[in-house]
Amino acid sequence: MPARIARGISGVARSARGWIDRSLGAQLVAILTGVGLLGSVAITLLLAIVITPGFDRLEIEAAAAQRDRVAATLAEIGERTVAAAARARGRSAATGVDAIYPAGARRLPAWLPAGTARLAYVVGDGRLAIVARAEGSVAVRFIDEPMLMERIGFPVEIVAGLAGADAVRDGSLIRVAIPLTDSDGGTAGSLRLSMPRDLSKLGQRMLMLAVGGSTLLLLIVLAVLRRSITALVLGPLGRLEAQMQAVRATGTLAALPTEPRGDEIGGVTASFNAMIAQLADLSEQLKAQSYRLGQSESAVAMIHNVRNALTPVSTILSQGLAQPPPVELELIARALSELADDAVPAARRRKLTAFVAAAFEQEQAARTERVERLEVARDSMRHALAIIGRQQADAQARPHLAPCDLGEIVAANAAIARFAGALPVTLDLPEDMGWAIASRVVLSQVVGNLLANAVEAIAATGRAGRIGVTIDAHGDRLKLTIADNGEGFDEARAGRLFQRGFSTRTDKAGGLGLHWCANAVNAMGGSLTLESDGPGLGARAILTLRAAPLDQAGSRAAA
């Protein structure tokens, strides 16, 4: 159980320390509270050290004064008794005494002391007898406790025997004794005085009042200090923090509106506003530079994409110019001239006819191939023109997104990619369609870049290769994977492939394609990653986009 209590106290202490560490106001309140408590304890101890002993000393002195006063009163009564005895002159009666006897009387009370002492005291039966001798007479004055109490104003006890004369504290009373002497000079008894400790009570009240007043004063001072600190320090700091939070949340570099102050808080506020003004200027400069850089990157990216789109056109034209005719025209002309000659034998004529027919078939096949290639070149030109046409719109705003047939875009770019390299490349295309939410023109550029990179990676190996394309649906996402058996790359460099200007091949300038593709895919709400099992083991480009809802995809397919 003690261990649990200790752990609980430790947890509370840690929580309190954590709460105090998180708030400047809490720290100041804790400091002020600690100072107030220490000040209150110190003042209490100081007042207790000063007031309590002083009042105790006054109480002892007052008790001694009361004792002296009672002793003086008792002495005064004794002198009056002596005077009464002197006036009696042996008579048996006198005023102011209870009994008077002739000094030589034979029958004196047994308790009456013998001797010649001028004044003696006898204690008995709870009362005090004052015996005075003068002029041959013995006068007796009896005093009991009620009489003494009425005369001095507080309780008095008449006790036999010796009681200490020093003041003794007994609860709410202070007791002091007055010794009474007998006729032989010994102790006949004592008067024990019981006086209330009014001075101690007064001292305690004054101590409580002083402690309460000082504590109240400290609380007032602490409250004023806390309010002042809140108004002068914590409040401005809170407004400054709120302004910083607003700047972070909105991005608006607005100065903190405040009245000019000549203290440190005013200096901090002025420095903050100056910093905000400088940041605003730098932000404007950065925006201008970013705009110019964006224009430059956009233009370079457009040129890069247009170059990729026009590369098949250049390849097709170069191959068309370098390709010889299937059959020499001179041979066909000679064959036709021989056929026009009736003297040519029938067997020769049949051979010439078969040759001419084969030549026309070859020419027709070559023409069909040229038409197909020209159609690919035309698509490439259209693609390049579409890139140029969308450049202005894409530079001003995010691309317009709509359902797109991903399989159709892959197939169109795959036809163009066949002419992007010098070596033959086999493409395995997906049979199923996949509808994604994207910009058709931008997505076509991205897919074209990825296929062109795959063809270049295969060409870098110096051998014919294969590109496999798959489309998979994963919930509300559509994943396009373009895998090649090209040169691949080191997986440790995968994070740098999307950096502007980085390329895996030293013989290729630029490196802007993947950088632009990644930004374009991010703008369409997708992601682009590259994977490889290592150098020489090919690579995989994985493009993930949002899948189009079935109703939108169906309506687009029907249209």
The per-residue pLDDT for range 417-460, each reduced to its tens digit, is 666 665 667 778 777 678 898 888 888 888 888 888 888 888 88
Among the listed ranges 204-218, 338-352, 381-395, 427-441, which one has the minimum average pLDDT value?
Answer: 381-395
Q: Are strands 465-474 and 425-428 parallel, antiparallel or unpaired?
A: parallel
Phi, psi torsion values for 211, nearest 5 degrees:
-65, -45
Q: Which pTM was predicted?
A: 0.42
Asked if residue 141 has pLDDT above 70, the reply is yes
For 239-265, how does the pLDDT look when each residue is reduced to its tens digit (9 = 90+)?
888 878 887 787 777 777 777 777 777
**Which strands form 539-546's sheet, in the order they lie side by side?**
425-428, 465-474, 477-484, 539-546, 527-532
- Answer yes or no: is pLDDT of 9 > 70: no
- Residue 309: name the closest of 386, 404, 391, 370 by CA: 386
Q: What is the mean pLDDT of the chain?
A: 75
In angstroms, rounded to a whole number, what is the distance separating the alpha carbons of residues 82 and 63?
28
What fold characterizes domain 398-559?
A: Heat Shock Protein 90 (3.30.565)
Rounded Cα gap, residues 107 and 101, in angstroms: 9
Q: Residue 95: is its pLDDT beyond 60?
A: yes
CB 256 within 8 A of CB 265: no
Given this model, what pLDDT does residue 363 score? 76
Rounded CA-CA distance 250/485 in Å is 48
Structure tokens at 295: 């224009």
Confidence tier at 90 by pLDDT (50, 70, 90): low
Task: Give yes or no for a contact between 486 and 445, defined as CB atoms under 8 angstroms apart.
Answer: no
Residue-level pLDDT at 275: 85
3-state helix, strand, coil in the chain (%, to 5): 60, 20, 25
8-to-2, 30, 341 alpha-carbon distances in Å:
10, 21, 122
Residue 420 pLDDT = 62
pLDDT at residue 474 above 70? yes
Q: How much is the average pLDDT of 297-320?
A: 63
Q: Is the pLDDT of residue 3 over 60?
A: no
42 has a pLDDT exceeding 70: yes
pLDDT score at 106: 61
In the prediction, which pLDDT does 1 show? 47
Amino acid at residue number 173:
L
Please give the Cα distance from 513 to 442 (Å, whole number).
Answer: 13
> Can you name the residues that pair with 131 across neighbouring β-strands?
120, 140
Higher-confidence residue: 217 or 105? 217
Supply the Cα-derived Rg of the chain in whole angstroms.
Answer: 61
Lowest mean pLDDT among 44-58, 141-155, 457-471: 44-58
Mean pLDDT for the stretch of residues 505-533:
75
Q: Is the pLDDT of residue 512 over 70?
A: no
Higher pLDDT, 496 or 405: 405
Rounded mean pLDDT, 397-420: 76
